[in-house]
Structure 1
Amino acid sequence: MSIPDIVIENVSLTLGETRVFNEFSLRMSERRVAVIGRNGAGKSQLARLVAGLLAPDTGRVRVEDIDVGRDRRAALATVGILFQNPDHQIIFPTVEEELAFGLRSQGLDPREAARRVSDMLARFNRADWATRAVHTLSQGQRHLVCLMAVLLMAPRVIVLDEPFAGLDMATALRLTRYLETVDQQLVHITHDLPAVEDYDRAIWLDGGTVRADGPPAQVLPAYRAAMVALGGSDAFTDI
């Protein structure tokens, strides 16, 4: 699978009274991209812009030649997103219904959708989940349901918006291993620096601007050092 080109061009975005981005531009064409930064830096808003869940006030966001902020149908088929809370994504009572929903929305007939759902459950050794009620699954298991639902849609890009926050270490490692096997381009919003040390690129956002951009071996230590310095200071006004 070729790697898509994500292009953010002169984007400005205001939410409420907060100016998140002001003529912000960025290009991402690596297979694994980490986006780090403090709370309020604009990371989650960037994730939603790339997924087409937010449209910029001005400028545009393109994945390949698709303007994801204005062509919602094409965006759904091109970019998938995993949120921190799986319950913000799951809407159906059983696993097979949840997994089939995206396929049915793409126009697949029920028999073909059911076949693909069965194949996906088998791929993850979860065939016995088909008729399980979603509410009986653990948080980590519900995250896996969301991941399978995204993969079934076969997007070119998967955006991860802190999907492992709050999970125990074993579950987070298991889901990380699943993600290592996918062919899609990953844009990973995270505070977990060790999880992205082997990525192709790290982008440090600060106040809606790029403070550092490059190999994780350079960007992550600089970010860590800045946070350690900030944590040791008496400047608590911005917490």
Structure 2
Amino acid sequence: MPTVTFDQVTVSVPVDHSPVPKVLLEAISLRLTEERIGVIGANGSGKSTLLRLVNGLVQPTSGAVAVDGADTVRAVRAVRRAVGFVFTDPLSQLVMPTGREDVELSLRRSVRNGKERRARAEASLDRLGLLHLADQSIYELSGGERQLMALTAVLAVDPAILVLDEPSTLLDLRNRELLRRTLAGLDQQIIMSTHDLDLALAMDRVLVIETGKVAYDGSPAEAVAAYRSLCAEQAGAGAP
């Protein structure tokens, strides 16, 4: 498995009319080597920022992130070849009218020959059971089908690491189960944020992010229990 390292990473952003920046993540140090890594936490806790650091969509304010030794700032092209990113809303990354065209677009840099690119795209779509939907408008697809199309476009270029930012948020129960089964069958290292605690329990390691810090890091069952306890404490503190 690849190794992703965070070395004392802090991310902060300026705030209008304030000399003090807002800290999104603070002094994060991690070494991620497991095959399936889950990231859980409340909205605004810093989960998405943590994930976007892995492929250079966000840069550290201080500290460093590396993928198999490649710094995500200095070697961003190499990092993005190794790391595929799937967003929460597939419509934010499906830019072509049909799934076939979108998968072919993702292959354009790596596969120059048009016929070979078409064959590779069809093989990728067939792998996830989507070939029969290849020429259908993405706006006619269900939420689950769109998410799988976005996933197919990312997987077509065969990244070593797959990062998914809350991929099941917009899906109903049937499509969440379809996504879960699909992810379980992949060879890539997966780093995924999720609000679905059942999905988190299927990981090898789970991080709990709270107010920009790692509040817990351990086995899925223990991490989910710690997160539930944290939520209960916060609910109790907010009670009248």
Note if contact 1:60-1:67 (Cα within 8 Å) is conserved in structure 2. Answer: yes
Note if contact 2:41-2:195 (Cα within 8 Å) is conserved in structure 1. Answer: yes
Q: Secondary structure at the match of 1:132?
A: coil
- Aligned identity (percent) is 36
Residue number among 63, 66, 90 corresponding to 1:62 in the alignment? 66
Note if contact 2:55-2:76 (Cα within 8 Å) is conserved in structure 1. Answer: no
| Alpha-carbon distance in 1 for matches of 2:93, 2:44 | 22
- Say whether residues 1:214 and 2:234 are aligned partners: no
Q: Secondary structure at the match of 1:231?
A: helix
Note if contact 2:45-2:210 (Cα within 8 Å) is conserved in structure 1. Answer: yes
Write out the 4+ residue segments of structure 1 that deviate beyond 4 Å after TM superposition.
none
Q: Secondary structure at the match of 1:80?
A: strand
Paired residue type of 1:228: A
Note if contact 2:41-2:208 (Cα within 8 Å) is conserved in structure 1. Answer: yes
Note if contact 1:54-1:69 (Cα within 8 Å) is conserved in structure 2. Answer: no
For residue 14 of structure 1, report the CA deviation from its aligned partner. Answer: 1.2
Q: Secondary structure at the match of 1:45?
A: helix
Residue number among 9, 25, 34 corresponding to 2:7 in the alignment? 9
Residue number among 85, 96, 101 corresponding to 1:81 in the alignment? 85
Q: Secondary structure at the match of 1:41?
A: coil
For residue 220 of structure 1, report the CA deviation from its aligned partner. Answer: 0.9
Aligned to 2:186: 182
Normalising by structure 2, what TM-score?
0.92
For residue 235 of structure 1, report the CA deviation from its aligned partner. Answer: 5.5
* 1:102-153 Cα shifts (integer Å, max 9, x gaps): 1112253222111111111222232222222222212211101011111111
Paired residue type of 1:13: V
Which 5+ residue runs of structure 2 have no aligned equivalent?
Answer: 16-21
Distance 1:221 1:82, change over 3 A: same
For residue 218 of structure 1, report the CA deviation from its aligned partner. Answer: 1.3
- Say whether residues 1:156 and 2:164 are aligned partners: no
Note if contact 1:92-1:98 (Cα within 8 Å) is conserved in structure 2. Answer: yes
Paired residue type of 2:42: R
* 1:75-119 Cα shifts (integer Å, max 9, x gaps): 221111111111111111121110011111225322211111111
**RMSD of aligned C-alpha atoms?**
1.6
Aligned to 1:102: 106
| Alpha-carbon distance in 2 for matches of 1:211, 1:5 | 21
- Say whether residues 1:33 and 2:53 are aligned partners: no
Q: Which moved more, 1:52-61 or 1:174-183?
A: 52-61
- Say whether residues 1:133 and 2:137 are aligned partners: yes
Q: Following superposition of structure 1 onto structure 2, how do residues 157-172 of structure 1 map, counting pairs within 5 Å?
A: 157-172=161-176
Aligned to 1:204: 208
| Alpha-carbon distance in 1 for matches of 2:111, 2:69 | 23
For residue 168 of structure 1, report the CA deviation from its aligned partner. Answer: 0.6
For residue 46 of structure 1, report the CA deviation from its aligned partner. Answer: 0.5
Which 5+ residue runs of structure 1 have no aligned equivalent?
Answer: none
| Alpha-carbon distance in 2 for matches of 1:155, 1:212 | 28
